Structure 1
Amino acid sequence: MIALTIAEIAEATSGRFEAGDSGDTAETVVDGAATTDTREVEPGGVFVAKRGEFDDGHRFAPAAAERGAALLIVERRLDLPVAQVVVEDSVDALGALATEVVRRVRALGSLRIVGVTGSNGKTTTKNLLRTVLDQVGPTVASRKSYNNEVGAPTTMLELTAETRYLVAEMGASGVGEISRLIRMARPDVGIVLKVGLAHAGEFGGIERTVQAKSEMVTDLLPTDVAVLNVDDPLVAPMAGRTDARVVGFGLGERADVRASDIVVHARGTEFTVAVPGGESARVRFSVLGEHHVMNALAATSAALELGVPLPVIVAGLEQVTLAEQWRMQVLGGRDGITVINDAYNASPDSMAAALKTLAQVRTPGSRTIAVLGEMSELGDLSGEEHDRIGLLAVRLGISQLVIVGDGARRMHISAINEGSWDGESTHVATDDEAFELVTALARPGDTVLVKSSNAAGLRHVGDRLGEWFA
């Protein structure tokens, strides 16, 4: 974090300074990292005591003090020797502090901000952009999937006076949440990747999802750029909701930044990218899955708008070998058995994309095994969407389905009810049963996909299978 006095932090957060026994005063300067997790507290840092649904961060403030926190942001005065700023709401204070830090770094004149949202692909696109932009200037980007009202401002607080680019992943589970994040750090370039059924149950339907994702571009200025997936019929119309200049990416003729000649294989994906002005390049992309080409196009579009030359962008894309842990992560290798662990999260769109990739990378004479768990947060659409994925697995000719948990059972029922299928489906109740079944079933040369929502926890099954077949 940039250096601020405790008085400046108190003013930014509308808080009240309370001195501890350390001798710190309101003029004491703090420049350590800010966090809501005591495990991440470093000497000289700031600990924000956040109240959660099931716990209260104030309980962990003594641990933060022991780890060397220089300042606590709290909602009540604590009997601890560390300097404190007492605020009305810690999460609001975190956002207010992030807003002030962004404002100050912006005032230095060199910071450019990219916002990324969409139902799928945010983290991959953010990671690709970070790698590309790191080649041309100091870049801060969200760690993991830090994209909510806590994670996003925590990332913003990592800015320093030297930071040239901020890539802010902005997620939402309801209308108004992206707008809140944009008020902290308004993007120069706003990206909307896709509008799908991820979290549709929380949003209250696809129309509300569209409204929420549109918030990325509705407040952009005419001098800003909206980067839109023009292949998505729900994203493309957002061009009419923004005053910003629009750059479209996709596979079709409408796209300004377009991919063609896509080849998917077990080592990744190759494609040709064409950009405005007639320039093009072949990209040898190590990230597995044709669907990640769209994320690469979004990153390319944003980087071009920030002045990065196409050869530099391609070099950055080709450096990335993994989108993120548990996202199309290739493991295994013994006896030619490949495990693809894509179980960090799942929506109907990403589940379909992963199954299509599994079918594409199979080698002649080999089999495909899909270990699938529940897709959560779909609300009233859950049943029919699980049915649809079961039928898709049949149409793609997946050799063996292993469906895990009661929440995913309809995928199994739909698959076995499809009489033309010559594959098999087995439903099991637990992760351990899934692991034991796959290790017994797998043959040399097989490819195994593990896919589910984060809540289903199958990513750990994927890790176990990767180690077993290493």
Structure 2
Amino acid sequence: MIDLTLAEIAHIVGGTLMGGDASTVVSGLTDTDSRLIAPGDIFVAKPGEETDGHLFVPAAVANGAALVIVEQEVVGEGDLPLAVPQIVVRDTVVALGALAKEVVARVRALGGLRVVGITGSNGKTTTKNLVAAMCGRAGITVSPRDSFNNEVGAPLTMLKVTQDTEFLILELGASGIGHISLLTDMVHPDIAVVLMVGLAHAGEFGGVEATVTAKSELVTALPPTGIAILNADDARVMSMRSRAPGAVVTFGFSARAQVRATDVEASLAGTSFVLHVPDSEPVGVHFQVLGEHHVMNALAAAAVGRALGFSTALIVDALESVQRAEHWRMEVMGGNGVTVINDAYNASPDSMAAALKTLVLVAGPHNRTIAVLGEMAELGEFSGEEHDRIALLIVRLNIDELVVVGAGARRLHISAINEGSWDGESKFFETQDEAYDYLSGLLAVDDIVLVKSSNAANLRFLGDRIGELYA
């Protein structure tokens, strides 16, 4: 973060400064988690659904916080004044956003910062990591930690910029109309990437068309000089073309895409393909990230690179350097003859289908394929039919065994059985421990295991346990 005085911060967030010297300079805001506060940081006491950040102000101060932003004055031990200054505001989350907006605006005024915003129902974090790897080769780059993509995480990322930052990469999530607009108003992106529109979080949005409206907010936020990067293979995404104020670049597998891939071949070692970009000769890429669906994310990243003026050589070097999408995203684990693909950070119908197809694609005739699946959450009225559809896909792909974990995914197990072509190949367990016990007695050399669920189902930890068992 750039240097700001206490007086400047109070003015920016519209709050009242209590205690401290108004001319004191602070320049750090790491997290809203008091445990992650570093000496000299600002601590924002954010109310939560289960707890309240104000309760952790003393812990933040003990960890070295130089300033706290609160919604009501906090006193120290024995009702004495707090040991550090505090700024009292009406809403700490709004204050966080206001501070981020001002910091980005000041850095942008220096003329060297370019902002890339990325959204979509799936693939945001992987694409963000690829773009960050690319931009990091060209200049000082700031990008989100993990999936920091909401009204708290995105501003925290924005606040990491300094006068020297050249590229700010943002992952922009939403669970309703207006959420992305709230974030883009803070940064005014130069490049907008829309990966796909699927059923992820459709229950929260209220349907797919509402999802299209929400995701298109990133495109409409562009200035006339901005560039929209759109998935040529997704009709819903391409419908946003007419909303782009400036240039549009497309990516995908289809021949009409400006940035595209051909000759895609997948294995447990990754995915190879030939990259085609405008004004450059086709070039082979060995992409270490597993899964054809991640090639789409690589193409989106390559399109960003071209929009930023990067050479094809730099783009390919960056793509080939990334060894995994992210922890728990198509992460290859295991050993001693057993391969575990832990992809249980999140799951939508689209990403579930893609992961299952990858499982089959990378398996040889001597491999047994086992899918360990949990619930796909946040699908609302689509939940039942989408779990049915995945069950049908599993049977049609001829996956050798299905292990379903958790009550929320029971319909997947029942639907697979009802397909009638299986006889005992689907097993259901209420708990992860039960599933682990079963799998530890089942798995053998040459087995390939996919573990996939929504984040809420927590199967990523089961994937870790299985992977560590055979490491």
What's the TM-score, normalizing by structure 1? 0.98
The Cα of 1:278 is off from its aligned counterpart by 4.0
Residue in 2 that maps onto 1:312: 314
Asked if the contact 2:280/2:312 (under 8 Å) is kept, the reply is no
In structure 2, the partner of 1:122 is 124
Cα distance between partner residues in 1 of 2:171 and 2:403: 33
Q: Following TM superposition, by how much is the alpha carbon of 1:390 offset from its aligned partner in structure 2, in angstroms?
A: 0.6
Deviations 1:416-441 (A, max 9, x none): 12223477101111001111111111
Q: Counterparts in 2 of 1:6-85, with a 5 A limit?
A: 6-19=6-19, 24-79=20-75, 80-85=82-87
Is the counterpart of residue 353 in structure 1 residue 354 in structure 2? yes
| SS in structure 2 of the partner of residue 53 of structure 1 | coil
Structure 1 letter corresponding to 2:299: L
Listed as ranges, the matches of 1:384-403 within 5 Å are 384-403=385-404
Which runs of 4 or more aligned residues in structure 1 lie more than 4 Å from their structure 2 counterparts after TM superposition? none
Q: Distance in 1 between matches of 2:139 and 2:176?
A: 34
> Take 2:422 and 2:436, find their aligned partners in 1: how far apart are those partners?
24
8 A Cα contact 2:15 2:87, kept in partner: yes
Q: Deviations over 1:97-146 (max 9, x none)?
A: 00000001101111000000000000000000111110110100000000
**Counterpart for residue 3 of structure 1:** 3
Listed as ranges, the matches of 1:362-441 within 5 Å are 362-421=363-422, 424-441=425-442
One-letter identity of the residue aligned with 1:456 = A
**1:184 aligns to 2:186 (yes or no):** yes
**Do the aligned partners of 1:398 and 1:423 also contact (CA within 8 Å) in 2?**
no
Once residues 327 and 461 of structure 1 are traced to their aligned partners in structure 2, the CA distance between those partners, rounded to angstroms, is: 14
Does the 8 Å contact 1:249/1:257 carry over to 2?
yes
Match of 2:468 in 1: 467
Cα contact 1:227–1:248 (8 A) shared by 2: yes
Q: Determine helix, strand or coil for the equivalent of 1:301.
A: helix
Contact 2:377 2:456 in 1 (8 A): yes
User: Would the aligned equivalents of 2:189 and 2:221 in 1 still touch at CA under 8 Å?
Assistant: no
User: Cα offset for 1:396?
Assistant: 0.7
For the residue of structure 1 that corresponds to 2:245, the secondary structure is coil
Instruction: Give unmatched runs, 5+ long, in structure 1.
Output: none
The answer to whether the Cα contact below 8 Å between 1:34 and 1:48 also exists between their aligned partners in 2 is no
The answer on 1:447 being equivalent to 2:443 is: no
The 8 Å contact of residues 217 and 244 in structure 1, kept in 2 or not, is answered as no
1:405, CA displacement in angstroms? 1.1
State the partner residue of 1:215.
217
Structure 2: how far apart are the matches of 1:98 and 1:33? 10
With over 3 angstroms needed to count, the CA separation of the structure-2 counterparts of 1:423 and 1:354, relative to structure 1, is: farther
1:298-323 residue CA offsets vs partner (Å, 9 max, x unmatched): 01101111111110010011110011
Q: What residue number does 2:276 align with?
A: 274
Q: Which amino acid aligns with 1:213?
A: K
Larger displacement relative to structure 2 (435-444 or 264-273): 435-444
Tell me if the contact between 1:399 and 1:423 (Cα under 8 Å) persists in the aligned partners.
no
SS of residue in 2 equivalent to 1:420: coil
1:411 maps to amino acid = L
User: Separation in 1 of the partners of 2:181 and 2:234?
Assistant: 22
* Contact residue 174 and residue 203 of structure 1 kept, 8 A: yes
Alignment-mate amino acid for residue 37 of structure 2 = V
Q: Distance in 1 between matches of 2:83 and 2:18?
A: 10
Q: Which amino acid is the alignment partner of residue 210 of structure 1? A: V
1:35 Cα deviation from its structure 2 partner: 2.1
How much has 1:66 moved relative to structure 2?
0.6
Residue 77 (structure 1) shift: 1.3
Aligned 8 A contact 1:188 1:224 in 2 = yes
Q: Secondary structure at the match of 1:35?
A: coil
**1:385 to partner: Cα distance:** 0.3
Do structure 1's residue 292 and structure 2's residue 299 form an aligned pair?
no
Q: Distance in 1 between matches of 2:187 and 2:265?
A: 37
TM-score (normalizing by structure 2): 0.98
Deviation at 1:57, TM superposition (A): 0.3
Conservation of the 8 A alpha-carbon contact between 1:391 and 1:411: no
Provide the rounded CA distance (Å) in 2 between the counterparts of 1:93 and 1:380: 36
Structure 1 residue identity aligned to 2:113: L
SS of residue in 2 equivalent to 1:234: helix
Aligned to 2:79: none
Would you say the 8 A contact 1:70–1:83 is kept in 2?
yes
Worse-matched range after superposition: 161-170 or 27-36: 27-36
8 A Cα contact 1:394 1:423, kept in partner: no
SS of residue matched to 1:291: helix
Distance in 2, Cα, partners of 1:391 & 1:423 = 15
* SS state at 1:210 partner: helix
Deviates more, 1:278-287 or 1:94-103: 278-287
Cα offset for 1:237? 1.0
Quote the Cα distance in structure 2 between the aligned partners of 1:320 and 1:455: 27
Aligned-pair distance for 1:279? 2.6
Match of 1:203 in 2: 205
Aligned CA RMSD, in angstroms, stands at 0.9
CA contact (8 A) 1:87 1:93 kept: yes
SS of 1:235's equivalent in the other structure is helix
